[in-house]
């Protein structure tokens, strides 16, 4: 999936955390959480040379390349998500939960791709949710439709909290 799709998924994950914690959408706390979600969503692609995150976090990306971390392995694994959860636990709950949920949205939607994800790293083998003929190829029309669906949900969630 492209960075903009992962950002949209991170936004939706952040909105769900904001709603779950009963934080008003029209607050600075929610604005910070939504921005964090958009940034944390594509973060797992720091392991993919040439990606936006690899360019922004070049030193980390270079280190991952030096130690030969392949794309959709360590940074897309449940073990890494658990380690990140422990690392951000001291943050306020809103931001810790937002970061973890948005980051976890990345490998979750990559499971829709034909290449799958090494979700159970260090165990070998990639997991995918769809058969190859239904898989969502990166940059394809199906991904664009999926991204627009995510954005529609991202628009619906805050609007659904407005009392009429």
Q: What is the pLDDT of residue 162?
A: 86
Span 112-142, pLDDT tens digits? 998 899 999 999 999 999 988 898 988 899 9
Q: How far apart are CA 72 and CA 113, in angstroms?
A: 11
DSSP string, the chain: --HHHHHHHHHHHHHHHHHHTT--SSSHHHHHHHHHHHHHTTGGGGGSTTSHHHHHTHHHHHHHHHTTPPTTSGGGSHHHHHHHHHHHTTS-HHHHHHHHHHHHHHHHHHTTSTT-B-TTTTSS--B-SS-GGG---TTSHHHHHHHHHHHHHHHHHHHTTS--
Chain mean pLDDT for the chain: 94
Average pLDDT (37-53) is: 93
Q: What is the pLDDT of residue 151?
A: 97
Computed over its alpha carbons, how large is the radius of gyration of the chain?
Answer: 16
Q: What is the pLDDT of residue 163?
A: 82
In this structure, the chain runs to a length of 164
Percentage of residues in the chain with pLDDT exceeding 70?
100
pLDDT tier at 107, thresholds 50, 70, 90: very high
Q: How far apart are CA 22 and CA 94, in angstroms?
A: 10
Boundaries of every domain in the chain: 3-159
Q: What is the dihedral of CA 158, 17, 139, 76, to 10 degrees?
A: 180
Q: What is the pTM of this model?
A: 0.93
Q: What is the pLDDT of residue 138?
A: 87
Residue 96 clears pLDDT 80, i.e. is over it? yes
Average pLDDT (86-106) is: 98
Judged on CB neighbours under 10 Å (0-12, 13-18, 19+), 75 is buried
């Amino acid at each position: 999936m492209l960075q903009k799709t992962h950002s949209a998924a991170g936004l939706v994950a952040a909105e769900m955390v904001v709603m779950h914690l009963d934080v008003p959408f029209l607050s600075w706390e929610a604005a910070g959480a939504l921005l964090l979600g958009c940034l944390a969503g594509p973060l797992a692609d720091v392991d993919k040379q040439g990606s936006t995150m690899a360019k922004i976090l070049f030193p980390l990306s270079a280190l991952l390349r030096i130690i030969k971390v392949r794309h959709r392995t360590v940074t897309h694994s449940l073990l890494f998500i658990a380690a990140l959860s422990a690392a951000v636990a001291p943050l306020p709950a809103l931001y810790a939960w937002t970061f973890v949920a948005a980051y976890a949205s990345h490998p979750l939607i990559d499971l829709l791709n034909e290449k799958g994800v090494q979700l159970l790293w260090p165990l070998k083998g990639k997991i995918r949710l769809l058969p190859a003929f239904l898989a969502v190829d990166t940059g394809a029309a199906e991904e664009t439709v999926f991204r627009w669906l995510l954005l529609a949900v991202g628009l619906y969630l805050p609007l659904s909290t407005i009392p009429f």
